[in-house]
Amino acid sequence: MSIEALFKPRSVAVIGASGTPGKIGYAIMRNLIEYGFEGKIYAVNVRGGEIEISGRKFEVYKSVLDIPDEVDMAVIVVPAKFVPQVVEECGKKGVKVAPIISSGFGEVGEEGKKVEQQLVETAHKYGLRILGPNIFGVVYTPTKVNATFGPVDVLPGKLALISQSGALGIALMGWTILEKVGLSAVVSIGNKSDIDDADLLEYFENDENTGAILIYMEGVKEGRKFMETAKKVSMKKPIIIIKAGRSERGAKAAASHTGSLAGADSIYTAAFKQSGVLRALTIGEAFDWARTLSNLPEPKGDNIVILTNGGGIGVMATDAAEEEGLKLYDNLEDLKVFANHMPPFGSYKNPVDLTGMAGAESYEGAVRDALANPNMHAIAVLYCQTAVLDPRDLAKIVIDEYEKSGREKPLVVAIVGGVEAKEAIDMLNEKGIPAYPEPERAIKSLAALYRWEHWKKKHKKE
C-alpha cells in the first residue's frame, strides 16, 4: 500500500475543520490554503454549515462520505473517542492516507494501544494507511502541501525532516525558516501505529526532491526492518539521526512520551554505524551536517584546501580537520598558484593565508583557482570580518564562482563577524552553499559528508 498520497494528494479533507482561529482544525485549513496547495480542499465537521478561512468560503460536509469527489488524504482532527468511526468512514470513502492529529492513544497506556491497533486493522481492511496518531501533520514543499498546525512559510529545499516529537518538530520547522534550511518534507510520525520511519525512508530513497534525510527519533518498534531499510537507503542518500533517550532516565521519559521502547543506547550506536547512519548528538550538529549532506555533491577525492584571511581561524579549522581525520592537501607545486592572490608575506601552505589585507580580488582569484584544480577535491572558505571586504560582497563572490564552476565539488564557508556576517551566511545558505558562523562547524559538516561517502565506498566493495 503506497504512501505517495501523503506527499502528492490531489485532494485533502480536513475532518474536524473549524472556522475559529486558535483551533487546530482552523490552522490546518489555513496552512493548506496559504501555502498554496493547488488541489481540492474539503472541510468536514459534524456541525455542517459554512466557514470562511483566509478569504475562502467552504461548505462544511457532515461526513467524509458526503463529499461528492474522491479524497486522497484525510487529516483527522477530532477527539480520540470519535476517531475509530471517522477512520471507518475514510476507509469506506476510499481515502488513501489519513494523518491522525488527535492524541490520547498508545501514549496514554495499554487501553490506548489497543484502540490504536484496532484503528490500523480497520484502515488496512480498506487499503488505507495511517500516519500517527499524536502528530502535528505533514509538509511536502514540491506540491505545496502544508497540512500541519506549525509555521506556514517553510522554505523549499532538499532535506526531508522526520520527527517523532510533535512540539519539537514544530519548533524545528520554525528554526529551519530562521536558519535558511530548505526542506523537501516535514513528517510528524508520533506513535508510528502504521507508517513508520522505514516506510518514509523507502519513499524518500526514490524521491527526486530529497537529497538527505534527518530523523528525530526516540525509539523504533521493528529494529531489524529499520536497520535493513536504513542500510539500503544510505547507499543512495545520507541519513542523519538525532536519537534521544541516551541516558537511562531519558529513555524512560521517551517511553512515556510516545509510548515507544527506547532500548539500550549502545545497541543503537552500533546499529547506526553498520547502516551508514550519521548520528548527531545535538540539534545544531544535525542541521549543520544536513546543510552539507543535502546540498553538496560527493567529493571525488580526499584533498581539502582551506582558504582564509586570518591565521587564527585557519589554525582552528586545521585542528578540527585533524580531529575529524580529514586530509589537507599539501602539494606545494599546486598550492603555489595562491601566491598570485596574496601579498609577499602571505602563506600558500595549506591552510592558505591570504592575510588580513585580502579583498574581493584576492578571494575571487583564490576561490576560482581552487575550484578549477582537479587535485583539490573540497574547499573551505573562511573569513574574519575586516574593513577591507564586506562579508556580503564575499558571499556574492563565492555564490558567483561556485555557480560558474558547475557546483561539482563540495564547498563550505565560515564567516566570523557581526550583523553583516550573519546576513552573508544567510545569503549563502539560501543558495544551498553551507555557511556557518564558526570555522569548526564548517569543517565538521564537511567531515560528515566524507564519513558518509567513505562508508558507501567501503560497502560497495563488499
Domain at 154-295: CATH architecture: 3-Layer(aba) Sandwich (3.40)
DSSP code string of 304-356: EEEEES-HHHHHHHHHHHHHTT-EE---HHHHGGGGGGS-TT-B-SSSEE--T
Q: How far apart are CA 303 and CA 419, in angstroms?
A: 33
Sign of CA dihedral 362, 368, 369, 371: positive
Q: How far apart are CA 426 and CA 433, in angstroms?
A: 10
- Contact between 321 and 328 under an 8 Å Cβ cutoff? The reply is yes
The pLDDT of residue 109? 83
Q: How far apart are CA 40 and CA 58, in angstroms?
A: 11
C-alpha cell at 349: 601552505
- Contact between 181 and 159 under an 8 Å Cβ cutoff? The reply is yes
The pLDDT of residue 107? 85
Q: How far apart are CA 399 and CA 382, in angstroms?
A: 14
pLDDT, tens digit, 9 for 90 and up, residues 338-360:
999 999 999 999 999 999 999 99
- CATH class of this structure's domain 1-135: alpha beta
The pLDDT of residue 263? 58
The pLDDT of residue 266? 81
Q: How far apart are CA 141 and CA 157, in angstroms?
A: 8
Confirm whether 1-135 and 154-295 share one CATH topology: yes
pLDDT, tens digit, 9 for 90 and up, residues 37-53:
999 999 999 999 999 99
Sign of CA dihedral 385, 386, 388, 390: positive
Q: Using omega within 30 degrees of 0 as the cis cutoff, is the peptide bond preceding 133 cis?
A: yes
Q: Where are the domains of the chain?
A: 1-135, 154-295, 298-460
**Please, which residues have CB within 8 angstroms of residue 16's CB and are 6 or more apart in sequence?**
24, 25, 44, 45, 76, 77, 78, 101
Cα of first residue to Cα of last residue in the chain, in angstroms, is 32
Largest CA distance in the chain: 80
- Residue 60: what are its φ and ψ, rounded to 5°? -100, 120
CATH number of 298-460: 3.40.50.261
Which residue stretches of the chain have pLDDT < 50?
262
Q: How far apart are CA 375 and CA 372, in angstroms?
A: 9
C-alpha cell at 154: 517553510
Q: How far apart are CA 445 and CA 291, in angstroms?
A: 8
Match 563488499 to its residue by C-alpha cell. Answer: 462
The H-or-E segment that residue 41 falls in is: strand 40-44
Of 255, 252, 308, 303, nearest in space to 446 by CA:
303
Q: What is the pTM of this model?
A: 0.94
